[in-house]
A and B are shown apart, each in its own frame.
Chain A
Amino acid sequence: NAGVTQTPKFRILKIGQSMTLQCTQDMNHNYMYWYRQDPGMGLKLIYYSVGAGITDKGEVPNGYNVSRSTTEDFPLRLELAAPSQTSVYFCASSSPINLGSPLHFGNGTRLTVT
């Protein structure tokens, strides 16, 4: 019962580099989310998806892109990394939110951009 798996756990990027944060879930959840967490700021929603082929912007989408080609995978792409993207990134998945389903979280990716 792996749940939500995120890779890598840690990454250091130089300004201007790009990378993809991987997220996969084995619970057959249609809903998937990417959040970033900064100290004292709670969780900010970057992008989310309600099913394969469907994605939508959250509160802070600038500088990121996502795709959802399968139910299981929801990668987050950073193009032209900036110091402001230094953060901890969490992926989550759930069953339909309007039925009161909770989110299941991965253990996060800690990203530093220098």
Chain B
Amino acid sequence: AQSVTQLGSHVSVSEGALVLLRCNYSSSVPPYLFWYVQYPNQGLQLLLKYTSAATLVKGINGFEAEFKKSETSFHLTKPSAHMSDAAEYFCAVSDRSGTASKLTFGTGTRLQVTL
């Protein structure tokens, strides 16, 4: 069964600084990978997804993530943090088999952006 591990339950950065949120997956074959963002009192929104077309995936709001098979990682980055990026971020994984029917989520990383 696949799983994802998000390193760091809380990350704090200054406005304008680089954002790096870490996600490592466990899967016997390259899976589908997703990053979601959750703003306070809202549901989860898709930021970006990896489905194998390109290893560097660009998403909404200036975020991107790079799939690295050798490191089994899919870290989320943004060059310059904005106050509006403060939210909780979830990494998720699903497999490619014909019977795949659900996503497995990480425990989330809360991003704080300070002035």
Contact = CB atoms under 8 A, between A and B. Distances in A.
Nearest to A42: B107
Interface string B68-95: 0000000000000000000000101011
Given A98-B96, A100-B49, A100-B51, A45 B102 contact: yes
A98 B106 contact: no
B90 A43 contact: yes
B100 A98 contact: yes
Interface residues of B, number: 28
Contact of A97 (B9, B94, B106): B94
B37 to A, nearest CB: 11
A107 interface: yes
Contacts of A42: 90, 105-108
A98 B97 contact: yes
A103 B92 CA distance: 10
Contact of A90 (B34, B44, B98, B108): B44
B28 interface: no
Interface string A79-92: 00000000000101
Contacts of B34: 102
B98 A98 contact: yes
A74 interface: no
Interface string A40-53: 11110100101000
Contacts of B90: 42-43
Given A33-B102, A48-B102, A100 B32 contact: yes
Contact of B101 (A31, A41, A90, A105): A31
Nearest to A98: B100
A102 B46 contact: yes
A96 B85 CA distance: 30
9 closest Cβ contacts across the A-B interface?
A: A105-B43, A42-B107, A100-B51, A98-B100, A100-B32, A43-B105, A105-B44, A102-B46, A107-B43
Interface of A: 4, 31, 33, 35, 40-43, 45, 48, 50, 56, 58, 90, 92, 97-98, 100, 102-108
Interface of B: 9, 32, 34, 36, 41-46, 49, 51, 90, 92, 94-103, 105-108
